[in-house]
Amino acid sequence: MSKPLFEKIALVGIGLIGSSLARVICREGLAGHVAIATRSAETLKRAEELKLGDGYTIDAKEAVRGADLVIVSVPVGASGAVAQEIAPALKKGAILTDVGSTKAFVIAQIKPQVPEGVHFIPGHPLAGTEESGPDAGFPELFENRWCIFTPLEGTDPAALEKLSAFWRSCGANIDTMDPEHHDMVLAIVSHLPHIIAYNIVGTADDLEAVTKTEVIKYSASGFRDFTRLAASDPTMWRDVCLHNKAAILEMLTRFSEDLASLQRAIRWGDGDKLFDMFTRTRAVRRSIIEAGQDIDVPDFGREAVAHRRLRAVPSPAAALY
The least confident of 62-76, 78-92, 100-114, 189-203 is: 189-203
* pLDDT tens digits along 265-317: 999 999 999 999 888 888 877 777 777 766 666 554 445 444 444 444 443 33
Grouping H, G, I as helix, E, B as strand and the rest as coil, residue 248 is helix
Listed in sequence order, the residues at least 6 apart from 5 whose beta carbon sits closer than 8 Å to its beta carbon are 30, 31, 162, 165, 166, 169
Please report the pLDDT score of residue 312 as a whole number. 42
pTM, whole model, 2 decimals?
0.83
What is each CA distance from 101 to 75, 184, 226, 259, 274, in whole angstroms?
Answer: 9, 11, 20, 26, 33
Give the dihedral sign, CA 235/181/166/115.
negative
User: Does the pLDDT value for residue 64 go beyond 70?
Assistant: yes
CATH class for the domain made up of 6-178: alpha beta
Please report the pLDDT score of residue 299 as a whole number. 54
Every domain range in the chain assigned CATH 1.10.3660.10: 181-318
* pLDDT tens digits along 96-107: 999 999 999 999
pLDDT, mean over the chain: 87
Grouping H, G, I as helix, E, B as strand and the rest as coil, residue 135 is helix
CATH class for the domain made up of 181-318: mainly alpha
Looking only at the bridges linking them, the beta strands covering 31-37 and 95-98 are unpaired
Every domain range in the chain assigned CATH 3.40.50.720: 6-178
d(CA 80, CA 310): 37
Contact 83, 61 (CB under 8 A): no
Share of the chain above pLDDT 90, in %: 64
* pLDDT tens digits along 102-122: 999 999 999 999 999 999 999
